[in-house]
């Protein structure tokens, strides 16, 4: 099971996330995001080998994604744009992010070659950390490994897991004191609640 903290911008938040039990941390390489981090800065944030390093990308050329994968030592490229399967990077695993809206059709994503689908809430022009949830019950029908994101924190992650049965969960904006800066108390509470819910 995956419990991910996304939007990491500094070593202190990364260390606190890992210490509290995060199995993955995310770096946002979308320049318009308030959580954007330079690839070299991400590279300087060290993590244990058992913690997945995930990069958020939006409509970046494959060659650029692969360059950042190398620079920042990423394990996973989380693709939030309109990337086709043939544009997926060859040097990292892929999580394909999709925004779940009313009437959303999961069918095309059940056969895509991504390792997992990341289900996020609707967020207009924002990518990674909008904090908007969706109807988790619709996710339970998805016949592919998926990570649940969008508006999760300690207060609702248990219910989200109960309804959707995800492979993993991902939190960002709801556990921050400001964009890109984590509230360590909220983060620890989320990680504890998520671990308890995913063990059931």
Catalytic residues: 6, 120
Report CA-CA distances (Å) from 189 to 34, 54, 112, 195.
23, 22, 34, 10
- Alpha helix stretches (DSSP H) within 72-183: 157-164
Class of residue 143 by CB neighbours under 10 A (exposed 0-12, middle 13-18, buried 19+): exposed
Judge contact between 42 and 72, C-beta under 8 A: yes
Report the distance separating Cα 22 and Cα 3, nearest Å. 5
Judge contact between 55 and 72, C-beta under 8 A: yes
Partner residues linked to 77 by β-bridges: 55, 94
Report the distance separating Cα 39 and Cα 55, nearest Å. 9
Per the structure block, which two tokens stand in for 88? 């997926």
Give the number of residues written for the chain: 200
């Amino acid at each position: 099971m995956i419990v991910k903290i996304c939007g990491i911008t500094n070593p202190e938040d990364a260390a606190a996330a890992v210490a509290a039990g995060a199995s993955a941390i995310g770096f946002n390489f979308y320049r318009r995001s308030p959580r954007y981090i330079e690839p070299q800065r991400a590279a300087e944030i060290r993590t244990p080998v058992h913690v997945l390093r995930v990069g958020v990308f939006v409509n970046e050329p494959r060659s650029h994604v692969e360059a950042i994968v190398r620079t920042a030592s990423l394990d996973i490229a989380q693709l939030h744009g309109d990337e086709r399967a043939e544009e997926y990077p060859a040097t990292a695993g892929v999580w394909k992010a999709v925004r779940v809206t009313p009437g959303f059709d999961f069918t095309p994503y059940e056969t895509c070659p991504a390792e997992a689908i990341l289900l996020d809430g609707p967020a207009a022009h924002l990518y990674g950390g909008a904090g908007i949830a969706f109807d988790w019950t619709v996710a339970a029908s998805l016949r592919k490994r998926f990570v649940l994101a969008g508006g999760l924190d300690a207060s609702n992650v248990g219910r989200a897991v109960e309804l959707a049965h995800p492979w993993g969960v991902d939190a960002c904006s709801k556990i921050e004191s400001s964009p890109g800066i984590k509230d360590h108390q909220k983060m620890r509470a989320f990680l504890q609640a998520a671990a308890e819910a995913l063990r059931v």
